[in-house]
């Protein structure tokens, strides 16, 4: 996937291809293992409940941020760049949630010599709740 | 437990003194191909991650002319020395105003990608804060700025992370 999308082919209002994961301890533990993020609230139901989440342990905000970056990378391919990405962690990622990264192009312009594409993004759960409003700025190549 | 009605501000004298002052630099161990591959596998699980993160032959044919790391790759994970958590650190299960805390999010601006062999240097400073009354009560939003550069002095990323204390 060297180049998936060119600057000329993107229009305001275009949707980011949806990117989903059903998350549980298998995903959280793998992420903890590489990011050294072993925190009891992400590992142990009792600790999660003690942190006032009735359902127990919950997922890392950083992993949802990773999912956003993955969705962007899968869309734009290897030759393009993610120049900026920002997230707000607004709701909890419960065990077995099906998280879907959704996004829409809000602007595109040539700026500082770069073909920049702006997106509003959110990570939705299976109930349709936005858990993680976000934004991104991408730099895409020209066609030809 | 701190009396909730008597707390007028969560801003401390220490914060005022540290505002805008860069802390000591930290240097991460060299980035390895294996660390990048494992990071990509974990973060894309259960799907196969993109080849640009693990297939050197493929990566040589791209504009990067070699493997790169995912944008969120963290070479500072797994330090040998682990300083103890600061006393009074806010946690999700804290009791009393100012002892409860959560990760509010972050904004990252990316420069050059990280590659195998890179040595990343980091520095951090307390950028600014905003205190106001929310549905959680007296709440302090603290922005911390972290800057990463590689061994050539090139900008890798700047992160503004927001901590919430209430």
- A with B: how many residue pairs have Cβ under 8 Å apart? 93
pLDDT score of B87: 60
| CA A86/CA A136 separation, integer angstroms | 6
Angstrom distances, CA of residue B71 to CA of A15, A82, A92, B43, B157: 22, 8, 23, 11, 9
pTM: 0.93
- Mean pLDDT over residues B20-28, rounded? 96
pLDDT score of B88: 59
A43 touches B at CB < 8 Å: no
Q: What is this model's ipTM? A: 0.94
- Least CA distance to A76: which residue of chain B? B50
Mean pLDDT lowest for which of A127-136, B3-12, B98-107? B3-12
Residue from the list B43, B102, B108 with its beta carbon closest to the beta carbon of A70: B43
Domain boundaries, chain B: 7-30+97-166, 32-74
A106/chain B closest Cα distance in angstroms: 18
Residue from the list B42, B71, B110 with its beta carbon closest to the beta carbon of A33: B42
Q: If you average pLDDT over every residue of chain B, what do you get?
A: 92
Is residue B4 pLDDT above 60, yes or no? no
Is residue B1 pLDDT above 60, yes or no? no
Domain boundaries, chain A: 7-139
| CA B69/CA A139 separation, integer angstroms | 17
Give the strand order in the sheet containing A81-88: A15-22, A98-111, A114-124, A134-139, A81-88, B101-110, B155-165, B137-149, B121-134, B26-27
Counting as low any pLDDT under 70, the low residues of chain A are 1
Cβ of B92 within 8 Å of Cβ of A63? The answer is no
pLDDT score of B92: 66
- Least CA distance to B100: which residue of chain A? A51
- Mean pLDDT over residues B100-122, rounded? 95
**Domain A7-139 belongs to what architecture?**
Roll (3.10)
CATH number corresponding to B7-30+97-166: 3.10.129.10
Angstrom distances, CA of residue A20 to CA of A65, A90, A135, A143: 13, 18, 18, 29
Confidence of residue B99 (pLDDT cuts 50, 70, 90): confident
């Amino acid at each position: 996937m060297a180049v998936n999308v060119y600057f000329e082919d993107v229009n305001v209002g275009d949707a980011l291809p949806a990117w989903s994961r059903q998350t549980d301890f298998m995903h959280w533990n793998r992420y903890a293992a590489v990011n050294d993020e072993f925190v009891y609230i992400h590992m142990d139901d009792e600790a999660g409940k003690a942190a006032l989440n009735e359902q127990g342990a919950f997922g890392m905000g950083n992993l949802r941020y990773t999912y956003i970056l993955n969705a962007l990378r899968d869309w734009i391919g290897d030759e393009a760049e993610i120049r900026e990405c920002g997230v707000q962690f607004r709701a909890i990622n419960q065990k077995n949630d099906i998280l879907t990264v959704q996004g829409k192009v809000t602007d595109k312009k040539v700026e500082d010599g770069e073909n920049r594409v702006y997106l509003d993004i959110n990570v939705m759960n299976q109930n349709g709740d936005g858990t993680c409003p976000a934004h991104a700025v991408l730099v895409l190549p020209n066609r030809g | 437990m701190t009396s909730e009605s008597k707390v007028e501000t969560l801003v401390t004298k220490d914060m005022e003194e540290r505002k805008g002052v860069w802390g000591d630099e930290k240097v991460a161990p060299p980035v390895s191909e294996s660390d990048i591959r494992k990071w990509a596998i974990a973060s894309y699980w259960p799907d196969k991650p993109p080849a640009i993160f693990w297939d050197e032959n493929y990566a040589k044919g791209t504009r990067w002319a070699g493997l790169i790391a995912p944008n969120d790759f963290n070479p500072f994970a797994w330090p040998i020395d682990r300083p103890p958590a600061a006393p009074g650190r806010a946690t999700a299960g804290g009791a009393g105003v100012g002892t409860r805390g959560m990760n509010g999010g972050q904004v990252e601006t990316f420069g050059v990608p990280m590659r195998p062999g890179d040595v990343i240097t980091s520095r951090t400073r307390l950028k600014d804060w905003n205190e106001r009354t929310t549905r959680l009560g007296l709440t302090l939003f603290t922005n911390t700025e972290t800057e990463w550069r590689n061994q050539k002095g090139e900008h890798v990323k700047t992160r503004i992370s927001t901590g919430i204390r209430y």
